[in-house]
Amino acid sequence: MDWQSFVTPATPPFFAGAVGLVLAVVVLWSLVWKGMALWKSAQKGSKVWFVVLLLVNTVGILDILYLYVFSKKSNTSAPTTQM
């Protein structure tokens, strides 16, 4: 066995292109959800959520949960009565 077999990539070039495409789609998906979640947390003044969403990368899962679950729970305004 020569030393070049340890440093040359084992993946064929066509597979690298598919992985690059999947990676680009995942990055775009995550960026869209992260942007929406950060925007909403900034508008609501949730500094803790903003920092958590900024630092934790979960491919959009935490961002989606924040948008549809956690951001709605904090709305505790008293209901108003209309005449």
Domain count, the chain: 1
Please check whether residue 61 lies inside any domain of the structure.
Answer: yes
- The model's pTM is 0.66
Give residue 83's pLDDT: 47
For residue 19, what pLDDT is reported? Answer: 82
Sign (positive or negative) of CA dihedral 72, 75, 78, 81: negative
- What CA–CA distance (Å, rounded) separates 56 from 32? 15
- Residue 57, in any domain of the structure: yes
Domain carrying residue 63: 41-71
Which tens digits make up the pLDDT trace of 32-81?
999 999 999 999 999 999 999 999 988 899 999 999 999 886 555 545 55
**Ramachandran angles phi, psi of 52, nearest 5°:** -60, -45
Q: Judge whether 55 lies within some domain.
A: yes
Query: Which pLDDT belongs to residue 58?
Result: 87
Question: Is 2 a residue whose pLDDT tops 80?
Answer: no
